Amino acid sequence: MDFQLNEDQRALQDTARKFAQSELPDLARQIEETSEPVPRAMRKRYAEMGFLGMNMPTERGGLGLGHLEALLVLEEFAKISPAVAFPLFEANTGPAHTVEHFASDALKNRIIPQVCSGDVVVAVAMSEPDAGSGLTDLKTNGRIDGDTITLNGQKRWCSGGGHSEGYVVYCRLSDAPGAKGIGAVYVERDMAGVSFGEREQLMGFRGVPSADIYFDNVEVPLDNMIVPAGGFPKLMQAFDLERCGNATMSLAIAQSALDHALEYTQERKQFGKPIIEFQAVQMKLAEMAMKIEASRLLIHRAAQNAADGLPSILDSSIGKCFANEMVRDVAGMGLQLMGAYGYSKEYRMEQRLRDAWGWGIAGGTIDIQKTNIASALAGRRFNQRG
């Protein structure tokens, strides 16, 4: 058991850090002010550097690296801001991997190379107005007739809604009740009958567009089916990797909060000396560091245990849950250490706190992760509807 990165991993991490720190801070500030996502031209630069689809097969345009390598790069980008990292999140840990693991070879060969080249961002459309944590209550319906799936319904809280070029849409593909009737299809943004609501105005996550999606008799080729009815467990299995991406976003925000707080407390003077000289400040910095390192180990364990496959629900849920709670604490301590400066929009600590809170809601709430953990420990699912 080796807790050290190997030479290639350290070199990759260093390359990502240098690119992110030199190329992305100005863009991150611009995105925070305008809420506009990463421009296509920068997305293409990410692709040219090999940062998109790093853990995708080389025959489909990826680098063929492991999940851990992808998470190392994601963390360096997300330290600058989650918004500039979001294209990596989608390509390296997001719904593109549902396509890669479970779709037909024809669909994989059509979509994955476009993801790796930066031409397409694939988002996931899961939640609905009456189906969030209780996802198997979803009503979006795909009626199969010959070689066409006719899709009707509405999706909510889709990160990338209206901006992403493609969507993995969870829907009912049979009349079977609950999860047994649920599968997923790939829907393109410009298909007839696809429309979007107004962009959500969120507390954080600026530059990560979210909007309702409406499907009005959208005719989707049968070849675009990713998993048929009854494939819900496969969809959740792919989502275990997205949980690791979510956790890494939390980790990166926390690490950047600690880095900023450590720098600030060594420069800020009160009572005639830098405030890091005060034991109370030292305690907070130490607490921040301990929580961050524990989180990093849990996330890296989940990725490493997955090897070339997908992380387990236990590993990914523990990693996500711990990181989601950790980042709220760490960002809050960072803000407190900086006092009024931390609360000021002129500095980035208040943004970190706003962004921190969202990751424990997105991708399965903190409490849902805890039920996942208990279910994995007990070896059975619990009926939340009883």
Q: Write the pLDDT tens digit of every residue in 45-73.
A: 999 999 999 999 999 999 999 999 999 99
122-230 against 233-378: fold identical: no
3-class secondary structure for the chain? Answer: CCCCCCHHHHHHHHHHHHHHHHHCHHHHHHHHHHCCCCCHHHHHHHHHCCCCCCCCCHHHCCCCCCHHHHHHHHHHHHHHCHHHHHHHHHHHCCCHHHHHHHCCHHHHHHHHHHHHCCCCCEEEECCECCECCCHHHCCCEEEEECCEEEEEEEEEEEECCCCCCEEEEEEECCCCCHHHHEEEEEEECCCCCEEECCCCCCCCCCCCCEEEEEEEEEEEEHHHEEECCCCHHHHHHHHHHHHHHHHHHHHHHHHHHHHHHHHHHHHCEECCEEHHHCHHHHHHHHHHHHHHHHHHHHHHHHHHHHCCCCCCHHHHHHHHHHHHHHHHHHHHHHHHHHCHHHHCCCCCHHHHHHHHHHHCCCCCCHHHHHHHHHHHHHCCCCCCCC
Residue 45 φ/ψ, nearest 5 degrees? -65, -40
Report d(CA 167, CA 164) in Å as an integer: 7
- Kindly list the domain boundaries of the chain, sorted by start residue: 7-116, 122-230, 233-378
Amino acid at 342: G
Cβ-contact 205, 358 below 8 angstroms: yes
Q: Which fold has domain 122-230?
A: Butyryl-CoA Dehydrogenase, subunit A; domain 2 (2.40.110)
Cβ-contact 94, 120 below 8 angstroms: no
Q: Which fold has domain 7-116?
A: Butyryl-Coa Dehydrogenase, subunit A; domain 1 (1.10.540)
Residue 157 φ/ψ, nearest 5 degrees? 55, 45
pLDDT for 3 equals: 87
Cβ-contact 224, 149 below 8 angstroms: yes
Report d(CA 84, CA 252) in Å as an integer: 12
Tell me the two tokens of residue 27.
Answer: 């863009």
pLDDT for 110 equals: 97
pLDDT for 232 equals: 93
**For the purposes of burial, counting CB atoms within 10 Å of the CB of 247, is it exposed (0-12), middle (13-18) or buried (19 or more)?**
buried
* 233-378: CATH architecture: Up-down Bundle (1.20)
pLDDT for 163 equals: 94
Report d(CA 80, CA 128) in Å as an integer: 31
Report d(CA 68, CA 156) in Å as an integer: 30
pLDDT for 15 equals: 98
Report d(CA 170, CA 139) in Å as an integer: 9
Tell me the two tokens of residue 364.
Answer: 């399965």
Cβ-contact 63, 108 below 8 angstroms: no
Give the residue ranges of the chain where pLDDT is below 50.
Answer: none
Report d(CA 238, CA 244) in Å as an integer: 11
β pairing state of 122-125 and 166-172: parallel
Q: Inter-axis angle of helices 232-267 and 313-338, to 10 degrees?
A: 20
pLDDT for 153 equals: 97
Place of tokens 């989608």: 90
Report d(CA 313, CA 237) in Å as an integer: 7
**For the purposes of burial, counting CB atoms within 10 Å of the CB of 15, is it exposed (0-12), middle (13-18) or buried (19 or more)?**
middle
pLDDT for 2 equals: 79
* Cβ within 8 Å of residue 183, ≥6 positions away: 142, 170, 171, 173, 225, 226, 227, 228, 229, 230, 231, 232, 235
Length of the chain: 386
Q: Write the pLDDT tens digit of every residue in 230-253.
A: 999 999 988 899 999 999 999 999
The model carries a pTM of 0.95
